[in-house]
Structure 1
Amino acid sequence: MSSGPSRATAGGQLFAASQAGDAEVVARLLAAGAPVGFRNAYSWTPLHTAAAQGHVDVVQLLLDNGADLAAKASNGWTALLGAVENGHVALSRLLVERGAVLNAKAQAGWVPLHRAAVRGRLDMILLLLDSGADPHFKADNGWTALHWAAKLGHASVAHELLVRGGDPNARATDGASVFLMAANAGNIEVVRLLLDWGAEPEPTCKAGPTALAMCTDDACRRLLAHPEPFQRWYRRRLLTLWRA
Structure 2
Amino acid sequence: AAVEDNHLLIKAVQNEDVDLVQQLLEGGANVNFQEEEGGWTPLHNAVQMSREDIVELLLRHGADPVLRKKNGATPFLLAAIAGSVKLLKLFLSKGADVNECDFYGFTAFMEAAVYGKVKALKFLYKRGANVNLRRKTKEDQERLRKGGATALMDAAEKGHVEVLKILLDEMGADVNACDNMGRNALIHALLSSDDSDVEAITHLLLDHGADVNVRGERGKTPLILAVEKKHLGLVQRLLEQEHIEINDTDSDGKTALLLAVELKLKKIAELLCKRGASTDCGDLV
TM-score (norm 2): 0.70
C-alpha contact (below 8 Å) 1:146/1:158 kept by paired residues: yes
Q: CA deviation at 1:51?
A: 1.0
* Aligned counterpart in structure 1 of residue 177 of structure 2, from 170, 181, 195: 170
SS at match of 1:105: coil
Distance 1:159 1:89 in 2: 20
Distance 1:183 1:138 in 2: 20
Q: CA deviation at 1:228?
A: 4.2
2:117 is the counterpart of 1:121: yes
Q: CA deviation at 1:93?
A: 4.1
> C-alpha deviations, 1:106-148, integer Å up to 9, x for none?
2422222223222222223223222322222222311111112
Q: CA deviation at 1:158?
A: 0.9
Distance 1:59 1:92 in 2: 12
Distance 1:227 1:105 in 2: 37
Q: CA deviation at 1:155?
A: 1.4
Corresponding residue of 1:63: 59
2:160 is the counterpart of 1:154: yes
Calculate percent identity across the aligned residue pairs.
33
| 4+ runs deviating over 6 angstroms | none
Corresponding residue of 1:224: 238
Corresponding residue of 1:21: 16
Count of residue pairs brought into register by the alignment: 224
Gaps of 5+ in 2: 138-146, 244-285
2:206 is the counterpart of 1:195: yes
Q: How does 1:201-220 map to 2 (within 5 A)?
A: 201-205=212-216, 207-215=218-226, 216=229, 217-220=231-234
Q: Which amino acid aligns with 2:72?
A: G
Q: CA deviation at 1:58?
A: 0.7
Q: Which amino acid aligns with 1:62?
A: L
C-alpha contact (below 8 Å) 1:184/1:211 kept by paired residues: no
TM-score (norm 1): 0.80
Distance 2:190 2:242 in 1: 16
Distance 1:48 1:205, change over 3 A: same
Gaps of 5+ in 1: 230-244
Distance 2:111 2:164 in 1: 13
> C-alpha deviations, 1:58-110, integer Å up to 9, x for none?
10111222211211111222223333334445444433444433333224222
Distance 1:39 1:57, change over 3 A: same
C-alpha contact (below 8 Å) 1:102/1:132 kept by paired residues: yes
Corresponding residue of 1:49: 45
C-alpha contact (below 8 Å) 2:81/2:117 kept by paired residues: no
C-alpha contact (below 8 Å) 1:169/1:177 kept by paired residues: yes
> C-alpha deviations, 1:161-195, integer Å up to 9, x for none?
22212110010101111122224546222222222
CA RMSD of aligned residues (A): 2.4
Q: Which amino acid aligns with 2:16?
A: G
- Which structure ranks higher in relative contact order (CA pairs < 8 Å, sequence separation ≥ 6)? 1
SS at match of 1:67: coil
SS at match of 1:57: helix
Q: How does 1:72-91 map to 2 (within 5 A)?
A: 72-91=68-87
Distance 1:55 1:114 in 2: 22
> C-alpha deviations, 1:25-83, integer Å up to 9, x for none?
32333334332211111321110111112211010111222211211111222223333
SS at match of 1:43: coil
C-alpha contact (below 8 Å) 1:77/1:107 kept by paired residues: yes
SS at match of 2:30: coil
Distance 1:152 1:33 in 2: 43
